Amino acid sequence: MPTTEIGKELRKLRIDEEERLIDMANRLDKSSSFVSAVETGGKAPPVGFEDLVISAYRLASDAALVLRKAADLSRKAFTIQPESDLGKEAIGLMARRMNSKMDALTSEELERILSILRKGDADVG
């Protein structure tokens, strides 16, 4: 099973902190088998896991963004629950466009969307 992006980042963090897997698990208040499964790619990181790591290790904003991106790249599915009708319509349309072979978003469109979304990332961390 190939190592995921989040797995690489977790392992790097453990090495940088001179921690064993059990030490990281204790710091995150998770089982070592759970952390191992996320690190080795056997389990996708659950929603909020990267925020737990960021908080527990007091990661600076740049390191936090790297970890968030790694978590996103390691997930196979996302659950989005917008509260407004406008949010539901926008997310629904984007999901359909991203999943449809005939009407897929172009790389340029995805870059524009990422650019808009990344503006708020600087404030989170």
Please report the pLDDT score of residue 74 as a whole number. 92
Q: Which residues of the chain have pLDDT under 50?
A: 125
The answer to whether residues 21 and 35 touch, using CB atoms and an 8 Å cutoff, is: yes
CA separation for the pair 105, 117 (Å, rounded): 16
What b/e sequence results for 82-113 when a residue is b if at least 16 CB atoms lie within 10 Å of its CB, and e otherwise? eeeeeeeeeeeeeeeeeeeeeeeeeeeeeeee
Please report the pLDDT score of residue 125 as a whole number. 47
Task: Please report the domains of the chain, with CATH numbers, ordered by start residue.
Answer: 5-74 (1.10.260.40), 85-121 (no CATH)
Cα of 109 vs its chain's centroid, Å: 21
Cα of 51 vs its chain's centroid, Å: 9
- Global pTM? 0.74
Per-residue model confidence as pLDDT tens digits over 31-57 = 999 999 999 999 999 989 999 999 999
Please report the pLDDT score of residue 99 as a whole number. 76
Please report the pLDDT score of residue 122 as a whole number. 57
Please report the pLDDT score of residue 109 as a whole number. 86
E strands, 20-107, are none
